[in-house]
Amino acid sequence: MSFLGFSLPADPTFEARAPLERIEVEADREGTPCPELYRPYVLIDAIHDGNAIPAEFLTNAPRNHWEELMAIYARQRSWGATLIAGHLASALRLPMFLRVNTARALVDFGRFPGVVHRSARRRQDLAIRPPFDEWLTATQQHDLLCQHYDVISRGFDAALESMRVKVALHTHDERDELGRLQPPISLMTRCRSSADGTDHHGPFDPLFPMELLESTADRALKSRVALELEAEGLRVSENHPGLLDDGSVEARSLARRFFRRVQIAFEQTARPCRRIGDASPRDLVWEMLLDTNQRSCISDVMRGHLHRTRRPPEGYEKVFGAARFDYEEISAFVLEHQESLVESFTLSSERVSVLYVQVRKDLVWNSVGGPFGTPRRDAARAIARAIARGVSHYLLEDRPEVVEDAVSGEMDAPVTNQTFGRKLLRTAGE
């Protein structure tokens, strides 16, 4: 299998590339394949190993920008992540994996959209960061998000629609900011706002149960992968060097699928949608709840009206008033059924179990050999094969119903022993 077959060159390219690409791989005969029935329901991706910085976004960069740009490009790229992702897809005998080609230095798809300004006192980590906050005009920032961030979002939304397991590959620096050696591998599943206690409602609508952000993956999947990596002599930590950003793909997709599940359950018993002119107020509410990428202007206006007591646009008072009534009905439904909604979502095969794998860069990438270093292909392949064993064993032995339910269409069947455990916890104090 050719390294160049699925990984990008180390040097940046300034030509336009497709922001998101489906990369086909050949089967690794020494891997641990998923049974053929399972393969359409497993997704592998690498979003931070891209090398494309289209020249159209450098037109306003200063003349002496090259050194600064290359330093940021080298620091922010997840060197070797695509290499591991390709070998993992190959070891599982999946037909492909998803690769983001746009360089993270230009736009970070693992964050909420927006611009972080260098001069800001309090910086929220958003998709466009310095120096591009100054190098891009407002029009270029808009074009960058529309042409890259949104295209990648649509591709991931479509891909995740039928998936049951997703493994995201990333790499982190050998040492942290204090110079301490970081663990070889970290498995990340917990989101920041579930632990810091600074924002009760988190980044999504207040109806979203914050407890769901405590883990983006089935713990059995995380444990299986950790055991296989430890068996290879690789120390595995959890949620290091930090928690998942609330704007991560993992958090955004989890919230979207939860609200999609609420929508399906609510609409089964709700009255028919009202229409006011050409508008459906309830559809506007659902659009807002499902806008977990926070890219819709209409949804932002609706959030302002519902949660920040802002006036609706002139001429749309009746539509927004009806939408408020619909939102209150949905709120009452979620509050009444929250326990069952959370339990069924957590245990159901409809939830995508997403594992965010961080590998230390020096394990899969040499810092010498060329201006940006060279890949350690054998190490990347060995790590990928260990992860593949964990994923395959998880699907075959721990959660075979994850795929069986997806194929049969029975999406609500929970795992019996987990359901028993939850009931036991609820009744323990009675």
For position 223, which CATH number holds?
A: 3.40.630.40
Strand partners, 44: 167
pLDDT-based confidence at residue 272 (cuts at 50, 70, 90):
confident
Among 260, 228, 269, 190, CA closest to 382: 228
Mean pLDDT, rounded, for 247-264: 92
The token pair that represents 84 in the structure block: 């591991």
Please determine, for residue 58, whether its predicted confidence score (pLDDT) is greater than 60.
Answer: yes
Is 285 domain-assigned?
no
Judging by DSSP bridges, how do beta strands 96-100 and 42-46 pair with one another? Answer: parallel
Please determine, for residue 177, whether its predicted confidence score (pLDDT) is greater than 90.
Answer: no
Dist. CA 360–CA 371, nearest whole Å: 19
The token pair that represents 211 in the structure block: 């407890």
Dist. CA 402–CA 391, nearest whole Å: 12
Tell me whether residue 93 is exposed, middle or buried, using C-beta atoms within 10 angstroms of its C-beta: 0 to 12, 13 to 18, 19 or more: buried
pLDDT of 321-346, one tens digit each?
999 999 999 999 999 999 999 988 88
Please determine, for residue 122, whether its predicted confidence score (pLDDT) is greater than 80.
Answer: no
Query: Among 116-120, 214-218, 363-367, where is mean pLDDT lowest?
Result: 116-120
Mean pLDDT, rounded, for 186-206: 79
pLDDT of 12-52, one tens digit each?
999 999 999 999 999 999 999 998 888 999 999 999 999 99
Is 134 domain-assigned?
yes
> Helix, strand, or coil here: 268?
coil
The token pair that represents 261 in the structure block: 């599940």
Main-chain phi, psi angles of 392, to 5 degrees = -65, -45
User: pTM above the 0.85 mark?
Assistant: yes
Give me the pLDDT at residue 178, please.
82
Please determine, for residue 195, whether its predicted confidence score (pLDDT) is greater than 90.
Answer: no
Is 385 domain-assigned?
yes
Is 290 domain-assigned?
no
SS3 of 310-346: CCCCCCCHHHHHHHHHHHHHHHHHHHHHHHHHHHHHH
pLDDT-based confidence at residue 423 (cuts at 50, 70, 90):
very low
Is 82 domain-assigned?
yes
Please determine, for residue 72, whether its predicted confidence score (pLDDT) is greater than 90.
Answer: yes
Is 302 domain-assigned?
no
Domain count, the chain: 1
Residue 408: in which H helix or E strand, if any?
helix 401-408
Give me the pLDDT at residue 322, please.
95
The per-residue pLDDT of the chain, averaged, comes to 88
Return the number of other C-beta atoms located less than 10 Å from residue 211's C-beta: 11
Give the domain range for residue 180. 3-253+351-427
- The answer for residues whose C-beta is within 8 angstroms of residue 171's C-beta and 6 or more apart is 49, 78, 79, 80, 81, 84, 358, 359, 360, 361, 364, 365
Is 277 domain-assigned?
no
The residue length of the chain stands at 430
Is 393 domain-assigned?
yes
